Structure 1
Amino acid sequence: MSIQRRRRKASPVHTVRGSVAFEAKMQGREAGYHGGYEDGYVRGRADVIASRPAEVFPFRQMHVLYVTSGKGYPYSPLDEAIAATLRTQVAEVTVIEPGQPIAEMAIQMKPDLVLGLDGMYLPNEQIDAVRENGIRTAIWLTDDPYYTDMTTQSVTHYDYVFTLESNCIPLYKELGCVNVHHLPFAAYTGHYHPLKTPSPVRREISFIGSAYWNRVNFLSPIMGNLMQHNTMVNGIWWDRLPEYGLYQHKIELNKWMGPEDTAAAYNSSKIVINLHRSHEDDSVNNNAIKIPAGSPNPRTFEISACATLQLSDSRDDLTKFYTPGVEIETYSSPQELLEKVEYYLTHEKERCEIALNALQRTYRDHTYNNRIHEMLSIIFP
């Protein structure tokens, strides 16, 4: 018996649906292709920039006794960056904790410089004893202007004061400090750099940091709009958000991220938001005279070192380090932040160019090699 197979004639409805599905599939494939191409192109250019030979700074035949902050994380990555960089620029580096007998060790080792980070746990009488023996001393302050109630009690005990906040310079000079210099932190490229391979977890928008009240109040009106995108927030206190329950699946609450995880998050994001803390928040600050904050935070340089577009709130000193619209983007209101987020998520080429410009500027001007060289040039001209 022969069996005849009859071909079913496709109906117009099936034909239209099939065409739409096929077209959508092709559009998705094309978008994926272009997205992958763009990502590979940017990573390739970023790798070229990051792989260029770094500037060679003078090597000094001297001994630096470096006293760490003693505070652990999140200060320990700063200690690591400074100590590692010092080792590339001076002949000998000794690293000790503030609880050790600093004066006794300095008198015994006779270093050319005793350098302390933060200094909150560093007894003033120890520094006085070091200076009495003719050894130069310097302090690099980490949190100006937020803890000036405490830093004003210690800065006069050092030969050189370096602060990341330019607005603190007049205050310290009024106290009698002769050598006060603005020296912000930087990007330690051992931690923060472009990754050659994409992260398996991709983000459109990232914010990493503590939920200080000024951040909560600023972001709350637009949080719903931001969360409509592939947005992730990391840090403590974000359950302060009025509608935290709606967004908690996109918030990694109370997670302290080390440099490696933070850099990976920056690399995997199209946009990273930087919103500085307020100098007027008495719930966390010790800044009774309300010295205003005008200088960029360390995160400014670390984000830029990962070849990622940074949207930062405007600060007076920011233009000394990056050119807005060329190497960074700024905002002054929640609405402006939201508008720029929407714009750069749909203008890929412009977003990538700014990110790459930021990377180039950071690797050229804003690494710890730059900062340590500047510090040593001031102390040992």
Structure 2
Amino acid sequence: MSIVKHRKMVHHYQPSPAEEARARGREAGYSGGYEEGYLKGRADYIVKSHTESFPFRQLHVLYVASGKGFPYSPMDEAISTTLRGLVAQVTVIEPGQPVCEIAYQLMPDLVLVLDGMFVQNEQLDDIRRQGIKTAVWLTDDPYYTDMTTENVNHYDYVFTLESNCIPYYQQLGCKQVYHLPFAAFPDFYKPVRTPSPQRRDVSFIGSAYWNRIEFLSPIMDRLMQYNTLINGIWWDRLPNFAAYRDRIEVNKWMGPQETSDAYNASKIVINLHRSHEDDSVNNNAVKIPAASPNPRTFEISACATLQLTDSRSDLAKLYTPGKEIETYNSPEELLDKIQYYLHHEQERREIALNALDRTLREHTYGHRLNQLLSIVFP
């Protein structure tokens, strides 16, 4: 008697290419959602763990705003709002008002001027003769030194965001000159808790100065292969602008909220500084080179977004390259690092979070204004 064993035929299902693609998409979506959620959670923890505490001074500061409107008005708001938490009284006026007369009436401890282009030097001299201390925080060094040259000697204290301008102003006879970079204002620039509905791989926000056009033009075709969006004025200067116009929002100034939203929506934000040698927009006849980073350096970092910036010599004093910020020195290196960090999520995330932590520890307007007040009132 023979026993015949019947084997059940098992058919293995083979998914179609379309189904495999959908599965990979779901997996990537879950992974991306997890990574972004982890980033947002860590960023929220870092923000909550930082509570700024600065000395409170029984001082009255008369703050003279820039008078230039946007994009300077957000700086005025950041400075005046921060000052109110540091001193007993803050009076804010515009440079078109009678600054000298108001100072006589109020007799503040300090007249602090932002930029100072529209304040008459004779008024400053009169204020100083009354024994009132005066200080200016220069906003555009070294790009407009031809104009600031005429003003700086009319202040007791000169604060500049460009370290290379310090010896220049000292040569002009200014005795109290200090490097005071701009900073991040956390009310404007901060991580958002919810995922952005408009995700970007790469963002660039800023004006299309000619050095930026020259730098980016050779790589634009490859840069735009990513989900890249650009916002700012003059970008129709690009040689092949028509090919990218659907992803370039041209001739629009973005306010702090909109800019912060764009940073938060981006995996990588490019920072490319303007040139100190562009005579089409600058007034820098002595060609003082720029060593210090721009305000965007701090604002991007405050949003917990990876920043790729061109190198400036002062940068390493403020952030550690490779740990808290990433740099590039050529168009090809910029592209290489974009590709690398878009495929190395954990490294991108850690640098972005380290940048946020360093910014909140050292680079807010609270830190800057506390430093300024400590110098004027030691």
Q: TM-score, normalised by structure 2?
A: 0.96
Which residue in 2 is equivalent to 1:31?
Answer: 28
Please tell me whether the aligned partners of residues 166 and 177 of structure 2 are also in contact (alpha carbons under 8 angstroms).
Answer: yes
**For each residue in 1:91-142, what CA deviation from the matched residue of structure 2 results, as whole angstroms up to 9, or x when unmatched?**
0000000011111110110100000000001110111110010000000000
Query: Which of 192, 197, 202 does residue 199 from structure 2 map onto?
Result: 202
User: What number of residue pairs does the alignment pair up?
Assistant: 367
The one of 47, 51, 67 aligned to 1:54: 51
- Could you tell me which amino acid in structure 1 is paired with residue 356 of structure 2? L
Matched, 1:150 2:142: no
Provide the secondary structure at the position in 1 that maps to 2:164: helix
| 1:379 counterpart residue number | 376
Please name the residue that 2:5 is paired with: none
Q: CA deviation at 1:25?
A: 2.0
- Aligned partner of 1:285 in structure 2 is 282
Structure-2 separation of matches of 1:380 and 1:255: 41
Matched, 1:87 2:76: no
Shift of 1:53: 3.8
- Which residue of the partner structure matches residue 7 of structure 2? none
Partner of 2:343: 346
How far apart, in 1, do the equivalents of 2:128 and 2:278 lie?
Answer: 36
Matches within 5 A, 1:162-311: 162-311=159-308
- Residue 107 of structure 1 corresponds to 104
Structure 2, gaps ≥5 residues long: 1-10
For 2:93 and 2:281, the matched residues in 1 are separated by 29
**DSSP 3-state at the match of 2:204:** strand
Distance in 1, matches of 2:132 and 2:237, equals 48
User: Matched residues in 1 for 2:328 and 2:18: separation?
Assistant: 41
SS at match of 1:204: strand
Deviation string 1:47-70 (CA, Å, 9 cap, x unpaired) is: 000112423100000100000000
Q: 2:156 corresponds to which residue?
A: 159
State the 1:268 CA deviation.
Answer: 0.2
Q: CA deviation at 1:26?
A: 1.8
SS for the counterpart of 2:299 is: helix
Deviation at residue 20 of structure 1 after TM alignment: 2.7
- Following TM superposition, by how much is the alpha carbon of 1:193 offset from its aligned partner in structure 2, in angstroms? 0.2
Match of 1:77 among 49, 74, 77: 74
2:184 alignment partner, SS class: coil
In 1, distance between residues paired with 2:233 and 2:50? 38
Q: In 2, Cα distance between the equivalents of 1:22 and 1:75?
A: 53
Aligned-partner residue type, residue 320 of structure 2: T
SS in 2 for 1:286: coil
Structure 1, unaligned runs of 5 or more: 1-11
Cα distance in 1 between the residues matched to 2:35 and 2:97: 52
What amino acid sits opposite 2:21 in the alignment?
A
Q: Find the partner of 2:129 among 132, 135, 138.
A: 132
User: Is the partner of 1:170 in helix, strand or coil?
Assistant: helix
- Letter matched to residue 229 of structure 2: M
Q: Quick one: distance in 2 between partners of 1:219 and 1:340?
A: 15
Maintained 8 Å contact 2:50/2:360 = no
- Is the contact made by 2:50 and 2:361 (CA closer than 8 Å) also made in structure 1? no
Could you say what secondary structure the match of 1:198 adopts? Answer: coil
Deviations 1:6-49 (A, max 9, x none): xxxxxx9xx75x43333222221111111101000000000000
Q: Secondary structure at the match of 2:134?
A: strand
For residue 36 of structure 2, what is the amino acid of its counterpart? Answer: D
Counterpart residue identity of residue 70, structure 1: G
Q: Distance in 1 between matches of 2:339 and 2:113?
A: 43
Amino acid of the structure 2 residue aligned with 1:193: K
Paired residues for 1:349-360 under 5 Å: 349-360=346-357
Alignment match of 2:37 (pick from 33, 40, 43): 40
Instruction: Determine the C-alpha separation between the residues in 2 that align with 1:75 and 1:139.
Output: 15
Moved more, 19-28 or 246-255: 19-28
Counterpart Cα distance in 2 of 1:356 and 1:81? 23
Partner of 2:6: none
Q: Which amino acid aligns with 2:284?
A: N
Q: Find the partner of 1:363 among 333, 348, 360.
A: 360
